[in-house]
Amino acid sequence: MKMLINVAETVVADALRGMAAAHPELTVDVENRVIVRRDAPVAGQVGLVSGGGSGHEPLHGGFVGPGMLSAACPGEVFTSPVPDQMVRAAAAVDSGAGVLFIVKNYTGDVLNFDMAAELAEDEGIQVAKVLVNDDVAVTDSLYTAGRRGTGATLFVEKIAGAAAQEGQSLERVEAVARQVNESSRSFGVALSACTTPAKGSPTFDLPPGELELGVGIHGEPGRERRAMMTSREIADFSVNAILEDLSPRNPVLVLVNGMGATPLLELYGFNAEVQRVLTERGVAVARTLVGNYVTSLDMAGASVTLCQVDEELLRLWDAPVRTAGLRWGT
């Protein structure tokens, strides 16, 4: 497989050096693998720290900045960061108001963030944790006990980040993050497998004429494989799978997310079908975001995430944000 890299062993470090050069508003510690907003710690603000294996960009490093994360810890490709990274990040962003760890539900991430929370508290840092587990496709997977954390991570990081930016307390920021997670559901579809730099070939076998319904962001198996379907059929299956588990009474945020190799031309066409299904099901849409945000290297495919919002969550979603991967407002 052709890749725009030097050698597999330096892919993450090379990307971090490039990120540092492109974004002087960030402090990027390449050696210790920590990305921090340059103005951290911000007096009176709760620090938000997240992280996970690389290969899902712009998640998480691309979401560091005002109105979103205070710091992110990138691991090796599809590999959890280690507790030392998380403790270093927590110390860098703690203003005395406490730190919230936002953790996707993958076994390695959960174990390492739990250990980091204990170590940080030993250093006098108040830590709270929120687990993101929004994927309705499967209950358990290769890397997870319970539901996987996927697209809702963006919603949690953005909305909780806005609450922290306003100076809300750790208890309140944690409660907002939990509310967003509990109000969110996702479903993903793969049209092709992804390729890790270390392996240099597809990580799983997906024949050209088939797709994987309910795939995970590391290529974990979903509910079933079928012959290739149209965008309309995929939208019907994906949205209905979500609505079997979520019955929104309020309007929803919609994320139509690319897995890394699907062009916007296709994603916007897919969004049209997602919106059609929601209209047919009587679900009101408050806001829609389309693009590659929670990716899986070069996987072709898409995921849909819905988050039911009240007026307060919608206000926090609309609040200004300035990060490498998400930016709006003043």
Annotated active-site residue 23? The verdict is no
Instruction: Give the pLDDT of residue 140.
Output: 75
Q: Element (H or E) spanning 90, and its range?
A: helix 83-93
Q: How far apart are CA 163 and CA 158, in angstroms?
A: 9
Write out the DSSP string of 107-147: HHHHHHHHHHHHHHHHTT--EEEEEE--B-S-SSBTTBSSS
| Cross-strand partners of 71 | 36, 49
How many CA atoms within 13 Å lie on the side-chain side of 148?
A: 25
Q: Does 4 score more than 90 pLDDT?
A: yes
Cis peptide before 251 (omega within 30 of 0): no
Name the average pLDDT for the chain: 96
Contact 151, 134 (CB under 8 A): yes
Q: What is the pLDDT of residues 130-178, one digit of tens each?
A: 999 999 998 877 677 889 999 999 999 999 999 999 999 999 999 999 9
For 153-191, b where at least 16 C-beta lie within 10 A, e where not — what string? bbbbbbbbbbbbbeebebeebbbbbbbbbebbbbbbbbb
| Residue 311 burial (C-beta neighbours within 10 Å; 0-12, 13-18, 19+) | exposed
Helices 311-318 and 170-182 pack at an angle, to 10 degrees, of 100
Q: Which of 37, 56, 60, 147 is catalytic?
A: 56
Is residue 95 classed as helix, strand or coil in its secondary structure? coil
Using a 10 angstrom Cβ sphere, with 0-12 exposed, 13-18 middle and 19 or more buried, the burial of residue 140 is: exposed
For residue 102, name the pLDDT band (cuts at 50, 70, 90): very high
Residue 108 contacts residue 73 (beta carbons within 8 Å): no
- Between vectors from CA 40 to CA 111 and to CA 64, what angle results, nearest 5°? 60
pTM of the full predicted structure? 0.97
| pLDDT bucket at 98, cuts 50 / 70 / 90 | very high
State whether the Cα torsion 196-199-204-207 is positive or negative: positive
158: nearest Cα among 318, 329, 330, 27:
318
Instruction: Taking residues 81-105, report their average pLDDT.
Output: 98
**pLDDT given at position 193:** 94
What percent of the chain stands above pLDDT 90? 94
Considering only CA atoms, which of 317, 296, 318, 324 is closest in space to residue 56? 296
Handedness of CA 55, 59, 60, 65 (dihedral sign): positive
Exactly one of 136, 206, 218, 235 is catalytic; name it: 218
